[in-house]
Amino acid sequence: MQLSKSRIKPEPNDFFALWPDAGLAQALSGRIPLWRESFGGGIRKTTAASDLHLTLVFMGALSDGERKEVLSIAQGLAAQAFVLRLDRLGSFHRSKTLWLAPASVPPELSDLVAELRSRLETARIPVRGSGAFSPHLTLARLTEPPSGESRVIEPIDWRVADFGLARSQPGPPYQIVERWPLITAGESRVPTGPVEVEVQETGDS
C-alpha cells in the first residue's frame, strides 16, 4: 500500500546559519510591521524572533553519517568574528517575501562561507544552491506581491560571534543542533574591501 504524498513525513533539512542573539532578534522582529508598510500589502506570516537567521550553506536532508561529518567539519573550522551591518530592505516579488540584508558583505563572512563550502565539497557532502552567496534574513511572507525597489535603511550592526548548524522539518520552527564560536582576538588579516552583493531569491531557508 502506498501512502499519499500528504501523509509522507518530509525529511528534515540541515543548514549552516548565523543566529542573532535574543536582544537583536526581538529588536528586528519589532520593526517588521513598520518595514512592511513601505512595501504595501498585508503580512501572511511573520518570521518568529527565535527563527530569524541568515543562511550560510544549505545542505538539505543528510544521512546520519553525513551529519556526523558535517559536525566534524564545523568543529575544526577557525574563522574570524565580525560585524555585519544590516542596512538594506527589500522583497522577492515571486515568493512575496520581505527581507533584510547587508548592502556589502564583510570579507570575514565571505571567507566563512567559502571555507564551509570547500570543506563540504572535499567531504563530498551535497550542497544546494551553488550560485553566488546572497546573504539575507527572511522577515515575513506577504499576502500579495510587494511593490517598490530595495532601499537603504538606518543601519543595524550585528556583532557576529558564532555560527551554527540547524535543522528544519522543513520550515520553522528550527532546531539549532550546535553552535561554534568565531575567533574574536589576536589574529590579524590583510584588509580587503567589502564585496557589493545583489540579493537573489532562492528556494533555500
Please tell me the pTM assigned to this model.
0.82
Which stretches in the chain have pLDDT values below 70? 1-10, 40-41, 130, 145-148, 170-172, 185-205
CA 81 from centroid of its chain's CA atoms:
16
The whole-number pLDDT of residue 123 equals 94
Preceding amide of 145 cis, omega within 30: no
The x, y and z cell numbers of residue 197, run together, are 552583493
Q: Classify 10-184 by CATH class.
A: alpha beta
Beta-carbon contacts of 22 under 8 Å, excluding residues fewer than 6 positions away, are 49, 50
Q: At what angle do helices 64-75 and 107-122 cross, to 10 degrees?
A: 140
The whole-number pLDDT of residue 130 equals 64
Q: Nearest Cα to 183, choosing from 120, 112, 86?
A: 112
Residue type, 124: R
Q: Nearest Cα to 91, choosing from 162, 151, 134?
A: 151
Q: Where are the domains of the chain?
A: 10-184
The whole-number pLDDT of residue 93 equals 74
